[in-house]
Structure 1
Amino acid sequence: MAISKDIQIISFLERHQVLSVNELSELIGCAEMTIRRHLDSLEERNLVVRRHGCAYLTNDAKPTIFDEQIKLNSREKFLIAHEASKMIRPNSTICFDSGTTIHRIVNLIDPNIRFTAITPSLPFATELAKLGNVKIIMHSGTLNKNNLTLEYAPDILQKKINVDISFISCRSFKAPNGTYEHTDTLIANKRWFANIGKKTVLLADSSKWLKRSVQLCVSLKNIDTIITDSKILDEDVNLIRKLGKEIIVVSDVG
């Protein structure tokens, strides 16, 4: 998959914090005018800030740190995870993407259910191992130290596996397009999960509908069900249903 210049810029800013247009031009290997054009676009989407000829990431665009992210929207994540846990059936094979909402599922799984779990998430696999009836499959890859996730090697992403449900997460979501990310290696993981699952379920709390990101990851046409919380706008719920997709809105009430 070709890496867009937007993603390359964000990746270098993640590594170096602050870079000039000239430095980005040399790192990426393109003209300064091209860098300025992409920075204009990223600034319009509130992903970078530009000061005195340099650029740095906004809070929305900074790397997701697992231990920090899991504390945000905690109640909403619990409710979404609880709804998702009901979908796990005996003897099924389930893909669990990385993500703090998905991580919440592990404590809600019926310990008597036997099933197979495929996950790139080290924290999720560690917790899942405490359940004696679960077979855990972890494929090889490179560890992303921010979210403690394995970024799968290309040969893994070519495999065809029979999966009943793929639970996926996202950096941001926009209807009618789909999910968005700005880490290219995570994009590959998520697309693979969506492709191999008989059913793909997106877990996205309402804050994900307000964020912006760089590159389309999983198209809405490849998502069967969305589970979100009651802070979502009614117009977004109606749009998803109009597009023929199932959306489950969870709340404390009822």
Structure 2
Amino acid sequence: MNNPREKEIINHLNKSSPLSVEQLAVLLAVSEVTVRRDLVELEQKGLIVRKRGGASLPGLGIEPMYNQRMKQNSDLKQTIAAYAADQVSEGDVIALDVGTTVAEFAKELLKKKNLTVFTFSIQVAALLAQSNHNVYLLGGNLRKTEMSMVGSITRDTIMKFHFDRYYLGLAGVSKENGPTDFNLEEVEIKRAIIERSKQVVALVDKTKFGVTSLVKVCEFEEIDEMITNNDSDPSFFEEYPYNGKWVFV
């Protein structure tokens, strides 16, 4: 968020939601016109829900649209994606999650050679269609809002394979509730891939920490490596009950 008021608005809504335009104007010491303009921007980014005369945070089960999320913190996601791609070696068999950070990672993989990639994301598969990699799109029931494949067919197919690494995306990671995401059907697929992977690498930009979404994905100890941004406060992460490898990039 380039506008510092937007971060302040989110912080105030985290403490009390909903808040009226009038209340926010007082808290921010700005005009109501300015608040309304900021709320429009935040809604377009999928970070708030505007209501008559005010705003609230989205419910735990409300997933911002994919195109909205692509625009959010794109520089943070690109940094994580570039680092993660550097760690991939020719001949690796990897599984890729859905989500915008993983999509950035897929773009970076276009620079690599001779990978075998499994994914349940049509977005990711389309990006990798431009590569020389062996790309397997796991079939199943189409979840149209995210363009992902879910359900028993997808899960049963995953159980036939083994992966060197799974690159996992998350909607939130909190000390109390662990790694979480928006959609139960997708989480079931994530859990199946985790079970079949030698190593699980979470690609999580710094804005996801301290956030809890609808459903828990896995335990902290099931994630081998957590890649996030190096401009975060290191002491903040010391409080997390995670004993795997932290990577700050």
TM-score (norm 1): 0.70
SS at match of 2:202: strand
| CA–CA distance in structure 2, aligned partners of residues 136 and 144 of structure 1 | 20
- Kindly provide the amino acid, as one letter, of the partner of residue 162 in structure 1: H
- CA deviations 1:23-66 (Å, max 9, x no partner) are xxxxxxxxxxxxxxxxxxxxxxxx99999xxxx97266422311
SS at match of 1:109: helix
Considering Cα pairs closer than 8 Å and 6+ residues apart, tell me whether 1 or 2 has the greater RCO.
1
4+ runs deviating over 6 angstroms: 47-51
SS at match of 2:80: helix
Corresponding residue for residue 93 of structure 2: 93
Shift of 1:231: 4.2
- CA deviations 1:119-158 (Å, max 9, x no partner) are 11111111101012x011112112222221111x324424
- CA deviations 1:231-250 (Å, max 9, x no partner) are 4332333345x742101111
SS at match of 1:124: helix
| Number of residue pairs aligned between Structure 1 and Structure 2 | 197
1:62 aligns with 2:62: yes
After TM superposition, list the pairs within 5 Å mapping 1:96-245 onto structure 2: 96-109=96-109, 111-132=111-132, 134-151=133-150, 153-158=151-156, 159-175=159-175, 177-239=177-239, 243-245=242-244
- Kindly provide the amino acid, as one letter, of the partner of residue 229 in structure 1: N
SS at match of 2:127: helix
Contact 2:61 / 2:183 at 8 angstroms: preserved in 1? no
SS at match of 2:82: helix
Shift of 1:76: 0.3
Going from structure 1 to structure 2, the CA distance change for 1:146 and 1:57 (only over 3 Å counts) comes to: farther
Contact 2:110 / 2:131 at 8 angstroms: preserved in 1? no
| CA–CA distance in structure 2, aligned partners of residues 219 and 190 of structure 1 | 12
Shift of 1:219: 1.1
- CA deviations 1:166-213 (Å, max 9, x no partner) are 000111112375311231101101111211111100011111113222
For structure 2, list consecutive stretches of 5 or more residues without a partner in the other structure: 1-47
Pairwise CA RMSD = 2.6
Going from structure 1 to structure 2, the CA distance change for 1:175 and 1:86 (only over 3 Å counts) comes to: farther
For structure 1, list consecutive stretches of 5 or more residues without a partner in the other structure: 1-46
- Kindly provide the amino acid, as one letter, of the partner of residue 129 in structure 1: A
Contact 1:176 / 1:220 at 8 angstroms: preserved in 2? no
Percent identity of the aligned residues?
21
SS at match of 1:143: strand
- Kindly provide the amino acid, as one letter, of the partner of residue 182 in structure 1: F
Going from structure 1 to structure 2, the CA distance change for 1:156 and 1:142 (only over 3 Å counts) comes to: closer
Contact 2:140 / 2:153 at 8 angstroms: preserved in 1? no
Corresponding residue for residue 45 of structure 2: none
Moved more, 220-229 or 83-92: 83-92
| CA–CA distance in structure 1, aligned partners of residues 196 and 236 of structure 2 | 27
Contact 1:175 / 1:220 at 8 angstroms: preserved in 2? no
